[in-house]
Amino acid sequence: MMERESSDEEEDRENLISQNARPNEVVKSPNHRLRSAFRIEDDFRARFSGAARRFNKRYLFAIFLPMVILILYFTTDLKSLFQMRMPTFKDTGANSASINRMRESELRALYLLKQQELELFKMWNSTALVNKSNFSSVNNSTDNKNNGVDLFSSPMLEDLKSRVFSQLSLNKQIQGILLSSHESGGSLDLTENYTDASFSGWSRCRKVDQRLPERRTIEWNPRSNKYLLAICVSGQMSNHLICLEKHMFFAALLNRILVIPSSKVDYEFHRVLDIEHINKCLGRKVVVTFEGFAESKKNHMHVDKFMCYFSLPQPCYMDDERVKKLKGLGLSLSKVEAVWKEDVKKPNKRKVEDVVAKFSSDDNVIAIGDVFFADVEREWVMQPGGPIAHKCKTLIEPSRLILLTAQRFIQTFLGKDFIALHFRRHGFLKFCNAKHPSCFYPVPQAADCINRVVERANTPVIYLSTDAAESETGLLQSLVVWNGKTVPLVQRPARNSAEKWDALLYRHGLQGDSQVEAMLDKTICALSSVFIGSSGSTFTEDILRLRKDWGSASLCDEYLCQGEVPNFIAEDE
């Protein structure tokens, strides 16, 4: 019991020692023993009272804490506690006047922007009226031969609409930014398109209306056993396809079946074209392969009349080597002679009546030689869908296998919206520099031109069809940039068995054929949202023909750096 009291007393002493006092100082105090002897009861009372106070504080804390939490929960917007706020100025004195002036200026700016928006809408409506009335009448007028720039020409009108559209969008965005400081709730998305919903159907690079029902056509009704032998000599595959298309027009004018050239003297057209597709489009037999022609003649083939469209630089634009190849097919040829004086370098403009008068004949088989350079009814021949009446989009188009392969490639690598670029380089430097002005552009200048089209088209990827070296395409890739990001230039990759987009070609033995690959490139380009071609290239011209016929031509289609001169041109040799 004494030990218990002694320990309690020591504990009481420790409680009574000041925090700043040292133990030895307490022990040495003269009043130490006196307090120990006579203040035990008081100390005990004080201890009891302190414990009671501590007890009460704990209970009070436990009671009031939940109440405080509930009050804060129902009276405080917790979301606002975690939102970043811009520093505000106390609305007193000079600051109050400054804020009032700022708000007044913002409201004034909003008023002016609204007035500008109304004026821009009036301009937009004016362009719509021009497009519906004056624009169509001016374009359709054959007597309109102004030397100056036509105010209502399609490029100018579309450029005006594009600028108005951009300013309307910018106007709406500025209004949104100003209003954001006066409206509570929500945040402003600076990437949002603020353009009115009435513009949703308008696009700067929308498809061109080719007005196919209005096109001028001729019926192709060949007489039985009357043939026109197609002969194409100049250039490569694209030239030959254009030559073949013109031969079809001549055959229709002369009411003859067209004989497709043999692969022994020309390209293997059956690998890139669907010959039977042409007959299906007209609902009758209008073309025949050379092998089919040979079978019908029982190998007794003879060209009854060889009338040359071109006389210079040599009759029918054929050399002795070509004549030898034709004879090697088992053909016997009549005398080759020109019906008029015509030079491939300076062809005359001819009419349908001229052709019918000079080349009509009762002979069974005739030939007129290469007609690639022939200039007969150019507007009629070059119109969308061609000059011949048929029920398809176009007569000369890639084979079904190539078309499907192109679609699979687009689905794999490109998607719906992409720009196609035909970047002709190999052998093009000398060819272009011989023209005035030149059409061969330095890579940086070409990149600037491409960037402008990318901006208008608003597309994320470019398909690159080119014969350029990697050094040029690598530099071009580094310079094609939009919104601070490099726009990828996609080319057809090397064969990979893990990829199935080109399986059809390999399954049908068409792999590795340069002409098949060239036609595949054309098809991909023809299906693009926007096309940039190389001026002077027949490869580009054939793509443009397909785009017109298929209805994929865009208002943004153009030749590379169209209207510009190369900023540097090398001297002649």
pLDDT value of position 3: 43
pLDDT value of position 93: 61
Query: What's the CA gap between 382 and 242, in Å, rounded?
Result: 10
pLDDT value of position 242: 95
- Minimal CA–CA distance to 188: which of 196, 170, 176, 197? 176
Ranges for all domains in the chain classified under CATH 3.40.50.11350: 400-559
Q: Which helix (H) or strand (E) holds 481?
A: strand 481-482
Place of tokens 């209502």: 152
Is residue 158 within 8 A of residue 202, CB to CB? The reply is no
Q: Does domain 400-559 have CATH number 3.40.50.11350?
A: yes
pLDDT value of position 112: 73
Query: What's the CA gap between 509 and 23, in Å, rounded?
Result: 105
Range 227-382: architecture per CATH: 3-Layer(aba) Sandwich (3.40)
0.85 exceeded by the pTM? no
* Helix residue ranges, H only, 297-351: 320-328
**What is the CA 371 to chain-centroid distance, rounded?**
35
pLDDT value of position 199: 54
Query: What's the CA gap between 419 and 411, in Å, rounded?
Result: 14
Ranges for all domains in the chain classified under CATH 3.40.50.11340: 227-382
pLDDT (tens place) for every residue of the chain, 573 residues total: 444 444 444 444 444 344 444 444 444 444 444 444 444 455 545 554 555 555 565 666 566 666 666 665 555 555 444 444 444 545 556 677 777 777 777 777 777 777 777 777 666 666 655 555 544 444 444 444 343 334 334 556 666 776 676 677 677 767 776 776 665 444 444 444 444 444 545 567 889 888 877 889 999 999 989 999 999 998 899 999 999 999 999 999 999 999 999 999 999 999 999 999 999 999 999 999 999 999 888 868 899 999 999 999 999 988 888 899 999 998 999 888 999 999 999 999 999 999 999 999 999 999 999 999 999 999 999 999 999 999 999 999 999 999 999 999 999 999 999 999 999 998 899 999 999 899 999 999 999 999 999 988 888 899 999 999 999 999 999 999 988 899 999 999 988 888 899 999 999 999 889 999 999 999 999 999 999 999 999 999 999 999 999 999 999 999 999 999 999 999 988
Phi, psi of 400 (to 5 degrees): -60, -40
Query: What's the CA gap between 501 and 143, in Å, rounded?
Result: 50
Peptide bond before 313: cis, by omega within 30 degrees of 0? yes
